[in-house]
Amino acid sequence: YDVSDNHIIYLNLARSHRDPHSAEQFQRQAGQNDNHIDSAQTDSIELGLRGGDNILTTEINLFGMRKRNVVFTDSDANTIYDAKTRHYGIELSATYAPLSWLEIEAAASYARHRFAEDAELPDASPLSINGNDLNAAPRHIDRLQLGLNPWHDGRITIEWLNVGKYYLDAGNTENYSGHDLANIGLQQKWQRFTVAAQVLNATDTDYAEYADTVPLSNPVEPRYLPGAPRSYYVSVDYDF
C-alpha cells in the first residue's frame, strides 16, 4: 500500500511445506522406529515499510514464524522429527548517499528463534528444551559498509560484519560468543578491463564459521569449524 509517493507498507502471509530429505530417514538412533516423517510446515507473517529517495532509502521489517515437524539432532545424537519452533524479530536496513563519491549501507537484525515445546525421546524422559534458543541461531547480525568512489571508475569498500552469540546445542549449555570481521575491496575499470582486489578478514581475527557440539560427548563438548584467516584475492575481467 502506497503511504506516500516514496514509501510503501506491505503485509505478507504465507504457509509452506517441506518434504523430509531422504537422509533424514536414516538418522535414527536405537529405539527410534517411527517409519513416518511428516512434512515440515511453516506459517509466517511479515509487516514492513520501505521507501526513500536518491539520497536515503530505508526499510523496516517485522516478522513472526511458526514451524511444525522440525527435524534436529540433540547432543546425544538423537534425531528429533516432530519439534515445534517459533521465531520473531525485526530487520532494519538503510542506504545513505549524501555525496556523489560516498555511499553508506547499514543493516541490522534482532531475532529470537526458540523451541515451542519439549521434545519426546524414545525410551527416555522428554528433552527439556521448551523456550530454549535453537542451536546456531544468533540473536543479532549486523553489517556496515562504506563505499567510496574517489576517482573515475574506481571504487573502494570497507565492510564490517558482526555475528552475535549463539548456543551450540538444544539444551543451551554451551555457546559461541560471536565475532566481528572487516573486509576491504578495491575495484578499477579501465576500458574493457575490470581489476578487483579483496582483503577478507583484514584484521586476521580468529573466529568460527560454524560451531556445534561433539555428538555423544559427556559432558557436552563444543567443536568449531575455523573461519579463514586473512585472505587476499585478485581478479581481472575483460568485457568482449
pLDDT attached to residue 120: 75
Exposed / middle / buried, residue 67 (Cβ in 10 Å: 0-12, 13-18, 19+): buried
* Grid coordinates given for 43: 506459517
pLDDT attached to residue 150: 92
Q: Give the residue among 188, 84, 198 at the shortest CA–CA distance from 132.
A: 84
In the predicted structure, residue 7 carries a pLDDT above the cut 60: yes
For residue 39, what pLDDT band results from cuts at 50, 70 and 90? confident
pLDDT attached to residue 45: 97
Cβ contact 68:86 at 8 Å:
no
Q: How does pLDDT run across 125-134, given as a tens digit for each residue? A: 678 899 999 9
pLDDT attached to residue 20: 72
Q: State the DSSP string of 138-156.
A: -SEEEEEEEEE--STTEEE
Question: Across residues 94-99, what is the average pLDDT?
Answer: 96
Q: How does pLDDT run across 192-238, given as a tens digit for each residue? A: 999 999 999 999 999 999 999 887 777 778 999 999 999 999 999 99
In angstroms, rounded to a whole number, what is the distance separating the alpha carbons of residues 193 and 187?
Answer: 11
